[in-house]
Amino acid sequence: MAERWTVLILTLFLSGYLSFQKKQRTSVLWPTLVAANFAFYSKEPVFLMVGSLAVLHLVFTYKLATYKQKLMDFWLIFSAVIYIFVYYFLVFVHRGEHLYKDTSYSVFIQMAKNLYNFMLNDPFLFFLLVPLVCLRLYSIIKNRHSDYPLYDALFLSSFVYFSAFIVLNIFSIYYLLPVYVFAIPCVIFYATNSVLFNVRVIKFAVILTALLTIFSSMPMAVYLLSFYKYVPVNYNKMLDFMEQDLTNTFSEKPVILFDNLNEINDIELVKSLPIFFQFRGIDEKRVEVPIHVYQNNGREIYDDKKDIPGERKGDCLLLI
């Protein structure tokens, strides 16, 4: 899970960035820039968050910031632009047939499901970050300046990262972890230095966030700790069984079939299984790999356009 390292790197970056705003030491500038660039290449959308932080902070403090503070922001923006070109030419142009967000289901159903999951798994971001951002934006637009330029820039940039996954229409329980690095210090700051938390809507949002965290997020966290503890154990047990079963002597090589496979979202399962087989010494001479049968919603798809024989002794059906 790349987000774990991204959280660590972003924490180091934020510590350096906040320290630099106070002391403006060159010895802090370069390590902070290095940490930012490591963060860019650890998780793709990070360039949006760090880049928007630099742009917003530069806009909010352009008349007040020192030369060194502006230099830091310019270097961060430049690094983000370089990342865009590197990612486009080294990754995006070599993409496969399907993008990561592609799904065989309705886009609107998928978005509704993702929003619902975000609400239950990340209520802090969905019910507290969003209304606070709206209030801060309203204040900035109304007054035509930011009272807290550093923390407003941090807060708005965290919302940019959060919005990216809404637009991409993808969800996982750990995707939004990097947002907390920027959002939590801002919420603490606003709670102790402004009147935002005296607003009735924010009070309601705090109560709702606390309830959902206690009765949804925390139980889910306990469940996932248990679930992911046994996933590798059970997967290896499956491989043990298949290794023993598929290496028996048959007149023809066994064929592996998947049932209820989404050929877009579950393709990683198909690509990784032969690798595990090869690691265990099961190659194409002993079993029909790579797997070339997919079944989805009653349809059969054959990627090599070969006719697949009917059910035979020794074939293996995996239920997804």
Residue 240 forms part of a structural domain: no
Residue 188 has pLDDT above 90, yes or no: yes
Reply yes or no on whether the pLDDT at 16 is more than 90: yes
Distance in angstroms (rounded) separating the CA atoms of residues 25 and 33: 13
Cα separation, 151 vs 89, whole angstroms: 34
In this structure, what DSSP letter does residue 197 have? G
Assess if residue 150 is contained within a domain. yes
One domain, residues 137 and 204 = yes
Read off the pLDDT of residues 132-150 as tens digits, 9 standing for 90 and up. Answer: 999 999 999 999 989 999 9
Contacts 24+ apart (CB under 8 A), 32-40: 32/72, 33/72, 33/75, 33/76, 33/79, 35/9, 35/10, 36/76, 36/79, 37/79, 37/83, 38/9, 39/6, 39/9, 39/10, 39/13, 40/79, 40/80, 40/83
Answer yes or no: do 171 and 140 share one domain: yes
In the structure, what pLDDT confidence band is assigned to residue 236 with cuts at 50, 70 and 90?
A: confident
Residue 140 is assigned to a structural domain of this protein: yes
| Residue 308 domain-assigned (yes or no) | yes
Strands (E), 116-247: none
Same domain, residue pair 129 and 90: no
* Residue 88: both structure tokens together: 């486009």
Q: Which residue has the higher pLDDT, 224 or 77?
A: 77
Same domain, 132 and 212: yes
Domain residues for the domain of 281 are 247-319
Shared-domain flag, residues 274 and 191: no
Based on the domain organization, do 135 and 209 belong to the same domain? Answer: yes
Peptide bond into 178 cis (omega under 30): no
If asked whether residues 146 and 228 sit together in one domain, one would say: yes
Give the tens place of pLDDT for each residue, 82-133: 999 999 999 888 876 666 666 667 888 888 999 999 999 999 999 999 999 9
pTM of the model: 0.80
Q: Please indicate, yes or no, whether residues 89 and 33 belong to a single structural domain of this protein.
A: yes
- pLDDT for 38 equals 95
Note whether residue 241 is domain-resident.
no
In a domain, 27, yes or no: yes
Give the pairing of strands 316-319 and 256-259: parallel
Plot region of 298 (φ>0 → left; ψ -120 to 50 → alpha; else → beta):
left
> Of 62, 95, 128, at which residue does a domain stop?
95
Give the residue from 95, 126, 148 where a domain finishes: 95
123 assigned to some structural domain: yes
Domain end among 50, 66, 95: 95
pLDDT reported for residue 300: 43
Q: pLDDT at position 304, please?
A: 42
In this structure, what token pair is assigned to residue 53?
Answer: 């932080």
In a domain, 238, yes or no: no
Total number of domains constituting the chain: 3
